[in-house]
Amino acid sequence: MALLQIAEPNMSAAPHQHRLAVGIDLGTTNSLVATVKSGAASCLADENGEMTLPSVVRYVGNENKIVGKKALSEQKLDPQNTISSAKRLIGRKLPEIDTAHMPYRFGKSEQIIELQTKNGLKTPIDVSADILRELRERAEQSLGGELVGAVITVPAYFDDAQRQATKDAARLAGLNVLRLLNEPTAAAIAYGLDNAAEGTFVVYDLGGGTFDVSVLQLSKGLFEVKATGGNSALGGDDFDHRLFCHIVENNQLSLTDERDVQLLFGLVRHAKEELSRQPEAHIVAELSSGKQINTLITRAEFHALTQHLVAKTIEPVKQALKDAGVAKSDIKGVIMVGGATRMLHVQQAVGAFFGQTPLNNLNPDQVVALGAAMQANVLAGNKNDGEWLLLDVTPLSLGLETYGGLAEKIIPRNSTLPTARAQEFTTFKDGQTAMTIHVVQGERELVADCRSLAKFTLRGIPPMVAGAARIRVTFQVDADGLLSVSAREQTTGVQAQVEVKPSYGLDDETITQMLRDSMSNAKDDAAARARAEAKVEAEGLISAIQAALTLDGDLLSADELNQINGLIARLIASLSAHTAEQIRALVQELSHATDDFAARRMDRNIQRALGGMRVEDL
Ligand code: ADP
Ligand code: MG
């Protein structure tokens, strides 16, 4: 397998020519920018000394907008124009999103998500670009120059569409994307595992609204994502929510004023974060009604309230280990990522599950940005000795539709990226001059059960008999996980290709569901495949016989012709109703019934070739 060498020889810079490059963690809840200065990575703060930028943009009209903390604090007051969690929407289509609890006004297009704001229609790409622009400006101010580029992190499960959309956002923000980097890989780099460590590591990332777990294989500076999993609807916010409900119940509150809700949510989040540092926290507030709240919450109480949420993260961890084909005891280290892993019961639960203390000595909010910065530093050519080989995997198999509605897998799931594979196909019909390549993603046997990514047509195939043309189809997935497919007719060299930038994406749950479906339907799928194959065989035979009848039907008596036509009719009727075996039996029968006819045709063809001489005369 070809590995991608990231550090390019001609990119190394003289020591005094330090090129400014940054790593950006574009998070669902918070985003950060980091850089390497004098050999050490650190996050860059804004003018108030804040490093984390809440991933929230409020559009206030007249092209004006507010990004970050202030936008977050105003969100409850102006929910329709204040966009948060754009990462959940980026690269996806409206029908794929659960919009039930989103306060936004969505545009009409089903192809691309648009949000109606005071500044007009905004796509999730625009919103992400506004966040990235803020971070770029922060970095350029703090570093005193223009950036040569940025490494931007994405979840390991992001598909082509989501990755492409993230790149587009960066471009809109005026950033040169050195590469996209998977978040767990970035965390492993930050821990320096690229230098010393060998073995299998788990990255446990509990953020604001999402939980991601990845299994990483490291060997000699090679990173390989073996499996990913998680829960896209579980994060620190759920702990806030649980504590919020507790306070409301305890104080018998009925909150009618949005400002009170906003105030209380801020306070419970703060209390939750306090409890990671101290054994107790106070929630003190005066509501708009004048009601006073003064509740003491202990760490033990908080843990009891939220232990079930912690427990919910363990199931996806088990699944990821299973997918990667490793046991708990094979895990050499567990890296904690995401602000919510600061909570002690989270650390305890993870520690207890793996039977080892997780790695948590780096700041879990920053670790992804720091790793991205280190990677950016290498890519910008500031480090001569650093050569990382970064390997990721495809979350689902990629393949194409073959005759009969079957999905042929070209690149199997969990293949290491970058990767390229080619396979030869042929035409099915005599004289066929065009072939449609339908690119699909998924584990199921039938195209109808897979996800359609793209379709394109190869034209200009020279007319030949069925099965004679040789069409080589190549699938290539680059280091960023973007797929391109090309098809080339081997004798003439005619070729066609697509870059697959599907306009909608998949979330981890959909991927999990697709995998689950493929397992639970494996038996049905095998039967469906067998039937589809028998059908293809039957159709091929029928069309060959029909072509022969047109040319040489006069070689048959009326009875013989009737018999053959009768069998063809039975076979056609069986295609939609019968099992693979029944279809195959009829194919056999028809093929026997035409043996004689085939022999006579052969004789006639030989006669023709000999220009009228009889075989016996030779
Ligand atoms: P994301 O990757 O989703 O953008 P982060 O990694 O920044 O998110 O995590 C944000 C979450 O971490 C929030 O729910 C926040 O309250 C939580 N968090 C931050 N600091 C602490 C802390 N000290 N204790 C507990 N939770 C924390
Ligand atoms: Mg994160």
Per-chain residues with Cβ under 5 A from ion ligand 2: 27, 207
The answer for residues whose C-beta is within 8 angstroms of residue 552's C-beta and 6 or more apart is 597, 600, 601, 604
Average pLDDT over residues 123-137: 97
* 252 inside domain: no
Domain holding 586, by residue range, is 523-610
Between the CA of 282 and the centroid of ligand 1 the distance, in Å, is 19
Residues 30 and 102 placed together within one structural domain of the fold: yes
Given 520, 541, 562, which residue is the final one in a domain? 520
Phi and psi, residue 210, nearest 5°: -140, 150
Residues 61 and 161 placed together within one structural domain of the fold: yes
Q: What is the DSSP letter of 338?
A: S
pLDDT digits (tens, 9 = 90+) for 500-534: 643 334 555 665 666 667 666 666 777 777 888 88
Residues 586 and 557 placed together within one structural domain of the fold: yes
What CA–CA distance (Å, rounded) separates 253 from 269? 18
Residue nearest to atom 26 of ligand 1 (CA): 340
pLDDT digits (tens, 9 = 90+) for 68-80: 999 998 888 899 9
168: left (phi over 0), alpha (psi -120 to 50) or beta: alpha
Band (pLDDT 50/70/90 cuts) for residue 158 is confident
Given 501, 520, 539, which residue is the final one in a domain? 520
Q: Is 340 in the pocket of ligand 1 (CB under 6 A)?
A: yes
Residues 123 and 230 placed together within one structural domain of the fold: yes
Band (pLDDT 50/70/90 cuts) for residue 10 is very low
What CA–CA distance (Å, rounded) separates 185 from 371? 8
The count of structural domains within the chain is 3
Q: Is 347 in the pocket of ligand 1 (CB under 6 A)?
A: no
* 42 inside domain: yes
pLDDT digits (tens, 9 = 90+) for 422-437: 888 888 888 888 888 8
Ligand 1 atom showing the smallest separation from residue 52 Cα: 7
Residues 220 and 347 placed together within one structural domain of the fold: yes
Between the CA of 338 and the centroid of ligand 1 the distance, in Å, is 6
Given 368, 393, 418, which residue is the final one in a domain? 393
Packing angle between helix 344-354 and helix 299-312, nearest 10 degrees? 50
* 505 inside domain: yes
* 178 inside domain: yes
* 281 inside domain: no
Residues 77 and 217 placed together within one structural domain of the fold: yes
For 214-243, letters b (16+ CB in 10 Å) and e give: bbbbbeebebbbbbbbbbbebbbbbbbebb
User: Whole-prediction pTM value?
Assistant: 0.65
* 276 inside domain: no
- If you write DSSP's letter for every residue of 217-254 in order, what string do you get? EEETTEEEEEEEEEETT-SHHHHHHHHHHHHHHHTT--
Q: Is 184 in the pocket of ligand 1 (CB under 6 A)?
A: no
Q: Which of 392, 480, 406 is nearest to 438 (CA)?
A: 406
What CA–CA distance (Å, rounded) separates 282 from 277? 13
Residues 98 and 229 placed together within one structural domain of the fold: yes
Query: Candidates 56, 154, 273, 367: which one to mutate for ligand 1, based on the most atoms within 8 Å of Cβ?
Result: 273
Q: Provide the CATH number for the domain around residue 588.
A: 1.20.1270.10
Average pLDDT over residues 547-559: 89
Q: Provide the CATH number for the domain around residue 481.
A: 2.60.34.10
Phi and psi, residue 555, nearest 5°: -75, -10
Q: Which of 89, 329, 349 is nearest to 206 (CA)?
A: 349
Question: Could you give the residue numbers annotated as active site?
Answer: 25, 87, 183, 205
Angle of CA points 473, 223, 416, to nearest 5°: 15
Residues 441 and 586 placed together within one structural domain of the fold: no
Residues 49 and 148 placed together within one structural domain of the fold: yes
* 292 inside domain: no
Q: Per DSSP, which regions of 111-269 are E strands?
A: 115-117, 120-122, 149-154, 177-182, 199-206, 211-219, 222-231
Between the CA of 372 and the centroid of ligand 2 the distance, in Å, is 12
Q: Is 183 in the pocket of ligand 1 (CB under 6 A)?
A: no
Between the CA of 207 and the centroid of ligand 2 the distance, in Å, is 5
Q: Is 342 in the pocket of ligand 1 (CB under 6 A)?
A: yes
Q: Provide the CATH number for the domain around residue 146.
A: 3.30.420.40
Residues 226 and 175 placed together within one structural domain of the fold: yes
Q: Which of 213, 262, 265, 278 is nearest to 239 (CA)?
A: 265
What CA–CA distance (Å, rounded) separates 565 from 553? 11
Query: Would you say how long the chain is, in residues?
Result: 618
pLDDT digits (tens, 9 = 90+) for 187-213: 999 998 876 678 999 999 999 999 999
Residue nearest to atom 22 of ligand 1 (CA): 273
Residues 317 and 368 placed together within one structural domain of the fold: yes
Residues 348 and 415 placed together within one structural domain of the fold: no
Between the CA of 520 and the centroid of ligand 2 the distance, in Å, is 32
* 231 inside domain: yes
